[in-house]
A and B are shown apart, each in its own frame.
Chain A
Amino acid sequence: MGVSLSKLTEKTDIWPWLLLAPLGVYMLIFFVVPLADVAIMSFVEPKVSFANYQKVLTGALYQRVFLNTFLTAAFVTLCCLAVGYPLAYLMAHSKPRTAMLILLLVTMSFWTSFLVRTYAWMVLLGNNGPLIAFLQMIGIEQPPQLLFTRFSSTLAMVHILAPYMIMNIYSVMKKIDPALIRSAESLGAKGWSLFRHVYLPLTAPGIANGSVLVFVICLGFYVTPVLLGSPREQMIAGLIGHQVDEFLAFGLGSAMAMVLLVITLVILTIYHRRFGLDKLWG
């Protein structure tokens, strides 16, 4: 008891600051400053004004891209949930060996570079790929273009982000005391009502965690939409990259980046207030 008390009231000594200083200075120079650079550029490139923001917030193209990004992120999150929840359930309620194999699979997927996974979807959905071949086999003469569409990029993003959802929900499901379900059953809950009133609320924290994570990552997703998506339906990250890389429009790109950053931080701040950020990636 005395020990914990002493920690609380320990005199501010210099040690923690000495230990933190190298990292603090480093992050200041190589994280805060570049970020501030983005913020500054959004106001001063090419000249000092709010023009960039005016363009980004009112221009039809940009509004459409932001809306598209939001809808895609929301849809991907929903799909991840639809895909992830049953799988997490299967993992949490299977025999240990089955659960282990699925866990291995999900972990594999998680750790496999998303470039590799993006490439795999290119193969699967390509014009000479198995899915088109399958469609032709069942009699569809002119199968639709699958690759480089909203469909292909969404599907790949769901596949890439699903492990985040699965892991979050699974870790919550695993901790549910089976006695709780049994006692609910003994009190007369069964089937849908057992799920709706007992199981679902118990797994809600996992769903919230997973959804926030997937949504936020999806908002800023660059690689997969650029490689697999339709060039006409860009997402915001792709457009930022395009502006900066192709047109060297740093001001406009930075303004969009700032809007993306602010939206992301707002979502995470709300989340942090309620649950604490460290839980999210835990």
Chain B
Amino acid sequence: MNTFMRWTGFIVVLFIAAPLVIVVPMSFSNASSLQFPPPGYWLGYYRAYFTDMDWLVPTWNSILIATATTVLTMLLVVPATFALVRHKFRGKGIADVMMLMPLAVPHIVMAVGYYSYFGDLGLVHSHFGVILAHTCLSVPIAFLVLSANLKGFDRNLERAAQSLGAGPAKTFIHITLPILRPGLIISSLFAFIQSFDETVVAIFISGRDAETLPRKMFDSIRQEADPVIAVISTLLFFIVLIGIAAPYFASALRSRAPKPSRPAGAH
């Protein structure tokens, strides 16, 4: 059983890894269409990506929309999470489930809704419309991360601060916020990525004016399979790699730093 599992596991590793790795050589290919292994290598498509407004504008749009979505999401979610984690009140169970609802609704359903509703409001083909829609989709993810953090928060820390003379506002600023900072950062990051990656709703409502990177990629894959996609894929791939590996390296560096030695017996 064990050996079987291990070998199957190994094959699965290849299955998972292959598509992630293959985009890297593709991005340096000089072929004009999908061809692997590439007939030759050059950096032409990198230059194409960094000079072509058809790609740069959607990239910028995506960054702009994801940033605004993150800010809006956190402004709404942080107080709500405090209410839901810290207070007991009638209807809390329903509110908890409602927070997660946008995760349960297939994006295509929301896309149809936004397409029609934002059409009526004149919000389609605008950055604003995409931001409003993306915020709804980011809310549950930010909430899940933040509420897990807040549940683990020792409230005695706040009581201690109060007993030491800090009023509610000062306690929040000096104690609650700094201790919650990692949770807030991760929560924001998740909200950002959710928006940056979101494709379906963007396809339907972003239009040409607010075209996001995923929408541009989707259209490009569907129509011409522009090799620039490999470049973007590679860049995104390495951003993710750095994002995931950075904390490991940071902690490795930190643990190597000399620690003050602890005198024995001093308690």
Contact = CB atoms under 8 A, between A and B. Distances in A.
Interface of A: 7-8, 10, 12-13, 15-20, 22-24, 26-27, 30-31, 33-35, 37-38, 41, 83-84, 86-87, 89-91, 93, 102, 104-109, 111-124, 126, 128-130, 133, 159, 162-163, 191-192, 194-195, 216, 219-220, 222-223, 226-227, 237, 240-241, 244-245, 250, 253-254, 257-258, 260-261, 264-265, 268, 272, 277-278, 281-282
Contacts of A26: 76, 135-136
Interface of B (DSSP majority class)? helix
A102 B75 CA distance: 36
List the 5 shortest-distance A-B pairs measured between CB atoms, nearest first.
Answer: A220-B106, A90-B9, A34-B113, A120-B19, A19-B83
A216 B108 CA distance: 13
A108 B119 CA distance: 37
Given A16-B89, A86-B12, A245-B204, A37 B116 contact: yes
A116 B236 contact: yes
Contacts of A113: 197, 214, 233, 236
7 contacts: A20-B80, A34-B113, A34-B118, A38-B112, A116-B236, A117-B20, A240-B112
Contacts of A16: 83-84, 86-87, 89, 92
Given A23-B80, A260-B106, A159 B221 contact: no
A121 B96 CA distance: 38
A41 B116 contact: yes
Contacts of B1: 191-192, 194-195
Contacts of B169: none
A106 B113 CA distance: 33
B244 A128 contact: no
B19 A129 contact: no
A50 to B, nearest CB: 19
Contact of A261 (B105, B117, B221, B229): B105
Contacts of A89: 5-6, 9
Interface in B225-244: 225, 229-230, 232-233, 236-237, 240-241, 243-244
Interface string B198-237: 0110011000000000100110011001000110110011
B64 interface: no
Nearest to A196: B1
B113 A37 contact: yes
Contacts of B90: 12
Given A26-B135, A115-B217, A117-B20, 14 more contacts: A15-B83, A90-B10, A105-B16, A116-B232, A119-B23, A123-B230, A124-B19, A129-B36, A192-B1, A237-B108, A240-B108, A244-B112, A264-B106, A277-B97
Nearest to B132: A30
Contacts of B33: 128
Contacts of A41: 112, 116
Nearest to B232: A116
A124 B136 contact: no
Contacts of A12: 89-90
B8 to A, nearest CB: 4
B17 A105 contact: yes
A279 B178 CA distance: 27
B109 A261 contact: yes
Contacts of B83: 15-20
Interface in B12-63: 12-13, 15-20, 22-23, 26, 31, 33-37
Nearest to A111: B240
Contacts of B115: 244
B34 A86 contact: no
A250 B112 contact: yes
A272 B107 contact: no
Contact of A115 (B13, B109, B114, B221): B221
Contacts of A268: 104
A277 B107 contact: no
A257 B103 CA distance: 15
Contacts of B10: 90
B157 interface: no
Interface centre among A35, A113, A282 (most CB of B within 10 A): A113
Interface in B180-200: 193, 197, 199-200
A130 B19 CA distance: 12
Nearest to B120: A37
A12 B80 CA distance: 16
A159 B12 CA distance: 10
Nearest to B18: A124
B139 interface: yes
B260 interface: no
Contacts of B22: 120, 123-124, 130
Given A12-B90, A37-B117, A268-B104, A121 B19 contact: yes
